[in-house]
Structure 1
Amino acid sequence: MQAWVIIYASAAAQAVLLALALWRRPANAAANRVLSAWTGLVGVDLAVKAVHLAAGDDRWSLAYAVVSLFPFLHASLFYVYVRALTTGSRLRMRDLVHFAGFALALVVAWPRLAGNAGWEGPGAWFTLFLFGYALAYVAAALVRIARFRQELRARRADADRQSLQWLGAMAFSQALIWCIAALREIAHIPFVDYHLIYGAVALWIFVIGWFSLAQPQVPAQPMTGAGHDAATPDESGVPPDRSRDEAEDDPRFPEVEVRLTRLMSGEQLYREPALTIGQLARRSGYPEYLVSVVINRRFGATFWDYVNRLRIDAMRDHLADPGETRTILDLAYACGFTSKSTFNAAFKRQLGETPSDYRRRHARDATKASAG
């Protein structure tokens, strides 16, 4: 028991320090304020658990009962954090609706909080509701992350930098904690108890600390689709819906296509690793919405796929050149890629083989040609 007290107390101290650091961190400031408040609540929860275990009596039973309802907050706070991260907007009054589950939990548990010793709890239905409520918010957050990644890939050539891997780690950690809790309710396996659950929460704090303090700046942008204001102008100053309609039969399509080809293939603008569609539009002299439509219709790709396709074409020339001595990774960086894994995946998806195999095959062909 003493070991759990030490684990909880250490994690609580880590959570408080992490909350203070996140509150002052300039990158993704709006989202990190949400994450700071969230980790602070987890710190309070773990601290109460540690004190309650150390006391060994009922002096902290009321506080223990209150923080036992905090799981209703964790998943919804994860969703609010993801929303703030991907849009750059602060916590709003309407976000309070996401804490309705916690409010309901307070109402249901009120007899216990009021000191009714004979209250036996709401029953199994309440636990099932808790699991379903939490997992629904985690799933909604993952859907928002996936949508954001798709929109980011359509606008930025260095979208691989914004992998948002720490969000996946956060979601996986939460799902693992909920699985432990569900296993405890269903199977009653030895050592799978509340101590293990909050031990996993303590570990989660260290995982969050590792990822959140190293997170890059996310290029937040308003989400399109549901919940997005169709009248919000894009970087070109034209509302998105109106832009698409007006571009249906735009007579400038051919000249925009020629201009983009000159910039991307002639001037090799694709080699700039942080190239965005807004930068390309400014260099071309045409509105961003028009550049986007031309890339989609004339080149048959999103901006991200279009740029990477040009990069792969350049890589093919380098790898097939027998006089090229640079490593594959150096060539990938020279062609504009910023991630080895993204480059390898894009290369194999486009050509059906790895860069190493492609280079070896052309080296063999060159050797046979010189021998013959």
Structure 2
Amino acid sequence: MLFGALLINSQKQSRSLVLLFAFQGCVCAFNLLEGLGFSSYLITPAFTLLYGPMIYFFTLSITGKQPFKTSHYAVHLIPAVISLAFTHYTQAIILLGSLSQLGYFYFAYGILKRYHKQLMHARSDAESLKLKWLIKALFIFAIIVVFDLLRMNVQPITPLDLKMHWYLLNEILLLLMFSFLLFHTIKNSFQFEPVTLSEESAAEQTDSADEQLAQQIFSTIDGLIINESLYRQPRLSLNDLANQTGLGSKEISWAINSTTGNNFCEYINQHRVNDVKREIEQDSPQKLSLIELAFQAGFNSKSTFNAVFKKETGLTPSQFKKQTQKN
């Protein structure tokens, strides 16, 4: 874990995870001291009010919504600091901390949903950039929180052996979750690209914009994409088209959305599917495999290709190929 933390410490959007690791280390240390009787005053209940903010700011940081700054945590530390004076009400503090964590997880989930929406409006490789692993982690964290809350509430009537084993299981689950976060943070850091808020609102202009102008812009963009086979670029983005045409990214997104009813990623993927379909129907002598045709058309993963192709045609690529050959 320490080696992994050193790897991501140089990445600005991942430093909040390093802080989360350090925080968990402090929690373990204080738990040990209190368990051995070295500390007569309880501190660890107040830590339950800090897990939520840590996960929330990690989510903000990894999506590029907010640069990591220690000052951003100040206001979120206040409840934990205040609770230090009332830790003798252990169960009440733990309950508040657990509810706080669930609340922060909910807001973090909302950030991820908005981020995914932005990606779909801004990039043709949005499906491969979605942070689905982080959504899974939030749900599992929420389950661990509820599980730990139950453990804390039955401690007074729990035998010592069961209490120790239950605590150990909880710590193992947390360790596995932190390892999961570390693995995916390192894995996805090389393809990470933040999406600006302006791109998110680009498709919201359709009501007040001129339909004819939208069709003119779309005709220009569509012709360029088809003639130059730009959809075959796996990482094509709105900014790439804006640089080539001189139009604004918001204008392009609006024109595509109002004319086709699809976001940018869906629109580009339609061209890619049509490209694969043409190649299959032409029965090219090159005899490329389906996955080779997919990569040639601009898809960058087999799973995305299969999912998009079935969504567009109602058939899997292999089913479409068999049906075409039969006809």
Q: Shorter-chain TM-score: which interval?
A: 0.7 to 0.9
Gaps of at least 5 residues in structure 1 are 1-13, 110-120, 224-233, 366-372
* Aligned AA (1:361): Q
Say whether 1:363 aligns with 2:294.
no
Shift in CA distance, 311/209, structure 1 to aligned 2, threshold 3 Å: same
Runs (4 or more) in structure 1 with deviation over 4 Å come to 50-53, 185-192
**Residue 73 of structure 1 pairs with residue 50 of structure 2:** yes
**Which residue of structure 1 lines up, in the alignment, with residue 144 of structure 2?**
177
Alignment check: 8 A CA contact 1:157 1:274 kept: yes
Q: Deviations over 1:202-239 (max 9, x none)?
A: 3333223322222224322344xxxxxxxxxx58xxxx
Please tell me whether residue 270 in structure 1 is matched to residue 231 in structure 2: yes
Aligned partner letter, 1:96: A
Equivalent residue, structure 2, for 1:227: none
Give the Cα separation in 1 of the matches to 2:176 and 2:218. 53
Aligned equivalents of 2:149 and 2:295: distance in 1?
A: 46
* 8 Å contact kept, 2:48–2:94: no
Shift of 1:261: 2.1
Structure 1 residues 332-343: aligned runs within 5 Å: 332-343=294-305
Say if 1:260 and 1:245 are closer, same or farther in 2 by CA, change over 3 A: closer
- Of 34, 37, 46 in structure 2, the residue corresponding to residue 58 of structure 1 is 37
**Identical amino acids, percent of aligned pairs:** 23
Deviation, 1:179, is 2.9
Say whether 1:215 aligns with 2:197.
no
* Match in the other structure for 1:325: 287
Distance 2:27 2:7 in 1: 19
Take 1:182 and 1:321, find their aligned partners in 2: how far apart are those partners? Answer: 61
Aligned to 1:167: 134
**Alignment check: 8 A CA contact 1:166 1:212 kept:** no
Consecutive unaligned residues in structure 2, runs of 5 or more? none
RMSD: 2.9
CA distance in 2, matches of 1:215, 1:104: 37
2:273 paired with 1:312? yes
Distance across 2 between alignment mates of 1:251 and 1:169:
43
TM-superposition CA deviations, 1:59-110 (whole Å, max 9, x none): 2454xx324432221121111111122225232645422333322322322x
CA distance in structure 2 between the partners assigned to 1:251 and 1:353 by the alignment: 35
Aligned to 2:257: 296
Equivalent position amino acid for 2:167 in 1: Y
Compute the TM-score of the two structures, normalised by the length of structure 1: 0.76
Within the candidate set 184, 202, 221, 2:175 is matched to 202
Tell whether the 8 Å contact from 1:84 to 1:91 is kept in structure 2 after alignment.
no
Deviations for 1:171-196, whole angstroms, at most 9, x for unmatched residues? 23422321321332567785663232
Bigger CA drift: 322-331 or 37-46? 322-331
1:279 alignment partner, one of 225, 240, 243: 240
SS in 2 for 1:154: helix
Change (3 A) 1:321 1:140: same
- Compute the displacement of 1:275 (Å): 0.4
Aligned 8 A contact 1:18 1:39 in 2: no
Equivalence map 1:341-352=2 (5 Å): 341-352=303-314
Q: Report the 3-state secondary structure (helix = DSSP H, G, I; strand = E; otherwise coil) of the residue aligned with 1:353.
A: coil
8 Å Cα contact 1:156/1:275 also seen in 2: yes
Counterpart residue number, 1:157: 124
Superposed, which structure 2 residues align to 1:227-238 within 5 Å?
234=198
Residue 354 (structure 1) shift: 0.9
Kindly tell me: are residues 44 and 296 of structure 1, through their superposed partners in 2, closer, same or farther at Cα, counting changes over 3 Å? Answer: same
